[in-house]
Amino acid sequence: MKKFNFNAGPSVLPRQVIEETAKAVLDLNGIGLSVLEISHRSKDFQAVLDEAVALFKELLEIPEGYSVLFLGGGASMQFCMVPYNFMEKKAAYLNTGTWANKALKEAKNFGEAVEVASSKDKTYCYIPKNYVVPADADYFHITTNNTIYGTEIRKDIDCNIPLIADMSSDIFSRPVDVSKYTCIYGGAQKNLAPSGVTFVIVKNDALGKVSRTIPTMLDYRTHIDGGSMYNTPPVLPIYSAMLTLRWIKEQGGVKEMQRRAQERAELLYGEIDRNPLFRGTAVEEDRSLMNIDFVMADDYKELEQDFMAFAQSKGLVGIKGHRSIGGFRASCYNALPLEAVQTLVDCMKEFQKNH
């Protein structure tokens, strides 16, 4: 049976990327060696890394003066690298979910990390508004897409101090005005590549302003100077990321990714709102286009396991909600075909008819 992959991360990749990665694992560009066994300093891999960086800059229209890095350690490593590199005394954080909260907790090890606002009071079902960012903080940290709770900051916000964003789960799903940010980072395994590589976009002249000693591997300048080759980078995930970036470009770039995301989200939220058996968990204006969370409506709670089994029988994979919120989560990343969402919607309609 055809499977539709709604996993939250690692998650669906374009079929073409998987096939071309598989080919390169057997033989990279006909050189007679696998991508798994070549030197990261070989010209064949250097070309891959250069193309990945160039496509990053082209697709996101990254202005002059920014570097694009590919590192290990996951987005979670950035929770400490960000304060190491940018926090002198004080930093401001918007607490919009599990990941935002982890970033905030880590920053507390480095100085005064202020929680500017939080939506924890309502299980993170909304994005706080009308908060005040302290003008004397070194930066303001946001999580643009809350992968677990299904909320998203879909527009680039204006900020009076340097803005830093975790974009792990919505990078390349819309155009971003990179000039508004000092740093953007994310794990690649949601929208870009297999797990193992982290991307960082950093404004060069914002670095070197803190007085603490930064461990070599955690200093962005090390990786800028080394061209992401100070040590051995995650070669295979970078190769796949490069292929995904080529795919995004072929498909029409981030504007087209945004159009598709809106199309998928309208279809699924439309059914969630129409079908009396289900209810969305995020407030409407802050709904994520990437992670769509819903539960059984209050009168139908006992049907949750039945629906899960029914969806599985239709080939729908990975729609179980995160353990901290329950219900269902349909992660609709760039590579998810509309057909997958249509199949889920048909499944919800059929389930309603049967009950």
Ligand X SMILES: *Cc1c(COP(=O)(O)O)cnc(C)c1O
Of 138, 170, 190, 219, catalytic:
190
CA angle, residues 166, 100, 152, in degrees to nearest 5: 65
291-296: strand order across its sheet? 278-280, 291-296, 328-331
Distance separating alpha carbons of residues 329 and 327, to the nearest angstrom: 7
Element containing residue 269 per DSSP (H, E)? helix 253-274
**Closest distance between ligand X and the C-beta of residue 97, in Å?**
8
112-118: strand order across its sheet? 66-71, 198-203, 183-187, 163-166, 140-143, 90-95, 112-118
**Residue holding tokens 């800059």?**
57
Q: Of the ranges 68-76, 105-113, 216-224, 261-269, which one interacts with ligand X (CB under 6 A)?
A: 68-76
The residue within the footprint of ligand X, chosen from 106, 152, 166, 286 (CB under 6 A), is 166
Tell me whether residue 166 is one of the annotated catalytic residues: yes
Distance separating alpha carbons of residues 44 and 268, to the nearest angstrom: 42
The answer to whether residue 99 forms part of the interface with ligand X (CB under 6 A) is yes
Angle between helices 235-251 and 253-274 (to 10 degrees): 80
The answer to whether residue 95 forms part of the interface with ligand X (CB under 6 A) is no
**Residues contacting residue 101 through CB under 8 Å, at least 6 positions apart:** 95, 120
Beta strand 328-331 pairing with 291-296: antiparallel
Q: Of the ranges 58-66, 70-78, 109-117, 240-248, which one interacts with ligand X (CB under 6 A)?
A: 70-78
When the beta carbons of 228 and 278 are compared against ligand X, the nearer one is 228
Distance separating alpha carbons of residues 202 and 184, to the nearest angstrom: 7
**Residues contacting residue 56 through CB under 8 Å, at least 6 positions apart:** 62, 68, 199, 201, 245
When the beta carbons of 20 and 151 are compared against ligand X, the nearer one is 151
Asked if 258 and 173 count as a contact pair (C-beta separation under 8 A), the reply is yes
When the beta carbons of 53 and 290 are compared against ligand X, the nearer one is 290
Tell me whether residue 190 is one of the annotated catalytic residues: yes
**Closest distance between ligand X and the C-beta of residue 306, in Å?**
29
Q: Of the ranges 25-33, 72-80, 216-224, 243-251, which one interacts with ligand X (CB under 6 A)?
A: 72-80
Distance separating alpha carbons of residues 330 and 317, to the nearest angstrom: 9
**Closest distance between ligand X and the C-beta of residue 76, in Å?**
3
Total residue count of the chain as it appears in this document: 355
The answer to whether residue 9 forms part of the interface with ligand X (CB under 6 A) is yes
What one-character-per-residue DSSP string does 300-316 give? GGGGHHHHHHHHHHTTE
Q: Of 225-254, which residues contact ligand X (CB under 6 A)?
A: none
**How is residue 179 written in tokens?**
């000039």
Asked if 147 and 7 count as a contact pair (C-beta separation under 8 A), the reply is no
How many residues form the binding site for ligand X (CB under 6 A)? 12
Tell me whether residue 298 is one of the annotated catalytic residues: no
When the beta carbons of 171 and 341 are compared against ligand X, the nearer one is 171
Q: Of 126-165, which residues contact ligand X (CB under 6 A)?
A: 143, 147
Of 138, 166, 170, 219, catalytic:
166
**Closest distance between ligand X and the C-beta of residue 46, in Å?**
25
The residue within the footprint of ligand X, chosen from 75, 184, 200, 238 (CB under 6 A), is 75
When the beta carbons of 78 and 85 are compared against ligand X, the nearer one is 78
Distance separating alpha carbons of residues 7 and 120, to the nearest angstrom: 24
When the beta carbons of 17 and 193 are compared against ligand X, the nearer one is 193
Of 99, 170, 286, 293, catalytic:
99
**Closest distance between ligand X and the C-beta of residue 131, in Å?**
19
The residue within the footprint of ligand X, chosen from 13, 56, 74, 126 (CB under 6 A), is 74
**Closest distance between ligand X and the C-beta of residue 44, in Å?**
27
**Closest distance between ligand X and the C-beta of residue 185, in Å?**
9
The residue within the footprint of ligand X, chosen from 7, 42, 76, 342 (CB under 6 A), is 76
What one-character-per-residue DSSP string does 83-111 give? HHHH-SSEEEEEE-SHHHHHHHHHHTTTS
Catalytic sites, residue numbers: 99, 166, 190
The residues that touch ligand X, with contacts defined as CB under 6 A, are 9, 74-76, 99, 143, 147, 166, 168-169, 187, 190
